[in-house]
Amino acid sequence: MTERFILALTNGFVLLLALIIQIIMPKTTRKNILFGVKVPENIMYDEEAVALRKKFIKNNLLIGIPTLFILSFLLYRFPKPIYPVIIVFIYLGILFLIYLKFNSKVKELKKVKGWDENGQKIVVVDMKYSRDKSKLGIISPLWFLIPLVLVLFNFILGITLYPTLPDRIPTHWNFQGEITTYSNKSYGVVLILPIVQLLMLGILYFSYWTIGRTKQQINPNNPEDSLKKNIIFRKAWSIYLFIITLLIILLFTSLNLLSYGIFFKTIKVVNILSWIILGFSIIGAIILSVKIGQGGERLKLKDNEELEGIYARDDDYLWKLGNTIYYNPEDSSIFVEKRYGVGWTVNVGRPLGMLFMILPFIIVIVILIIVARL
C-alpha cells in the first residue's frame, strides 16, 4: 500500500469514528436532554421524540457516509500534510449542522407543546460536595507521579547520552518504518520529545483536575442516587484519563528510545503501541459513555422512590449555539457538564472560562502554521 493510501485510510477511519460518536450521542446524554434541549424525562418516550431520534440516525448515515468517502478520496488525490486536519474540521462541521437541525426542531416542539411548563421546578445543590469536591469522585493526583517520573527519565537520559549520540539523529519515519528525516544533533532536537511529553502531561493533568472541580448537577427527583452516580461517573473518567496519560507517555518514551538508537531498532514497536492506545481510547470512551452516561445517568443503583412532578430548572436560555456553549456570568463555576453528550465544558460567561474556550483554537492555529511551513 502506498503512503497516500494509508493516509487516506487512516483519515477515513477518524471520520467514521466521528460519525459513530455522533450517532450514539443521544444515548449517552442525560435522560431529560433531547438534542441539547431540556425536557421532562417522560417526553423521551413520546412518539415524536422517538421518531426524531430515528430520523437523526438516518440523516447522519445518508449524509455522513457519502461525505466520508468524498473527503477521503480528495485526501488521496491531494495528500498535503495540512489537509487531514482541515478535512476533519470540515466533517465535524457537517455533523454539527445535522445536530443543529434537530436541536432546532426540538426547541420548536417544546414551545408548541408546552413541554416543561407544568410541575414544580427546583434546583438541588449538594453543599458537602461543593466543599469537598477536590476529594470526591476522582482518583488521587499522586497517580500522575508515575508518568511524571517517566518524563523526567527521558530528560535525564537525553542529557546523559548527548555526548555519545551521532551527529545526525533520526526524527521521522514513514509507514514502512524507514527513516525519512535526519536532524543535526542539538539539545533542542535531543530533548524535543521529552518537552512534548511534559506539555502533554500538563494538558492531560489539567483535564483530570477539571473533573473534580466541575459543577455538580443533581436530579431533583432523586438527589441521593444522583449524587452517588455522579461520583462514580467522575471516578471512572478520572481512571480512564490516567490510563490514557500513562499510555501516551509510554508511547513517546518508546519513540524517544528509538530516536536514540537504544532498545528499539524499528518503528514497529511504536506503531503497535500506537494502535493499542487508539483502540483503548476509542473502545474505553464508548463503553464508559454508553454504560455510565453523562453524570452517571445510565447507572442502576438501588431502587429508591422518585418524586413526581418535579423538574430541574429550565436553563436553556443559558446555552448558546445549539445548546453547546454555556454562558452565565452569574455562575461562579468555570467548568460545567456538557449539555449534549458526555464530558465537560467551560462557562464562557466568566473571563477565565472564555480563555479556556479559545486557547485550544489558538494552539490548533499555531500548529497548522508550523505544519504549513514544513
Tell me the domain boundaries of the chain. Answer: 1-115, 143-303, 315-374
The residues facing 312 across adjacent strands are 122
Q: Which residue, among 208, 264, 285, has the nearest Cα to 17 in the 3D structure?
A: 285
The residues facing 182 across adjacent strands are 170
Write out pLDDT tens, residues 87-109: 999 999 999 999 999 999 999 88
C-beta separation of 249 from 196 below 8 A: no
Which helix (H) or strand (E) segment is 120 a member of? strand 120-122
Instruction: State the Cα–Cα distance between residues 48 and 190, nearest whole angstrom.
Output: 60
Enter the pTM of the model: 0.77
pLDDT in tens, the chain (374 residues): 567 787 888 889 889 999 999 999 988 888 888 898 888 877 888 888 889 999 999 999 999 999 999 999 988 888 777 788 889 999 999 999 999 999 999 998 888 887 765 544 555 555 454 445 544 578 899 999 999 999 999 999 888 888 888 777 776 666 555 666 777 778 877 888 888 888 889 888 988 888 888 877 776 667 777 788 888 889 999 999 999 999 999 988 888 888 777 766 667 777 778 888 888 888 888 888 888 888 888 888 765 555 455 556 678 888 888 888 889 998 888 888 888 888 888 898 888 888 888 887 777 676 556 545 54
pLDDT at 367: 59
Specify the 3-state DSSP secondary structure of 232: helix
C-beta separation of 40 from 119 below 8 A: yes
Instruction: State the Cα–Cα distance between residues 24 and 286, nearest whole angstrom.
Output: 9
Q: How far apart are the first and last CA of the chain?
A: 25
Per the rule left: phi > 0, alpha: psi between -120 and 50, beta: everything else, 366 is alpha
Write out pLDDT tens, residues 160-186: 888 888 777 776 666 555 666 777 778
Question: How many residues does this entry show for the chain?
Answer: 374
Cα four-point dihedral sign 63, 65, 68, 74: negative
Specify the 3-state DSSP secondary structure of 37: strand
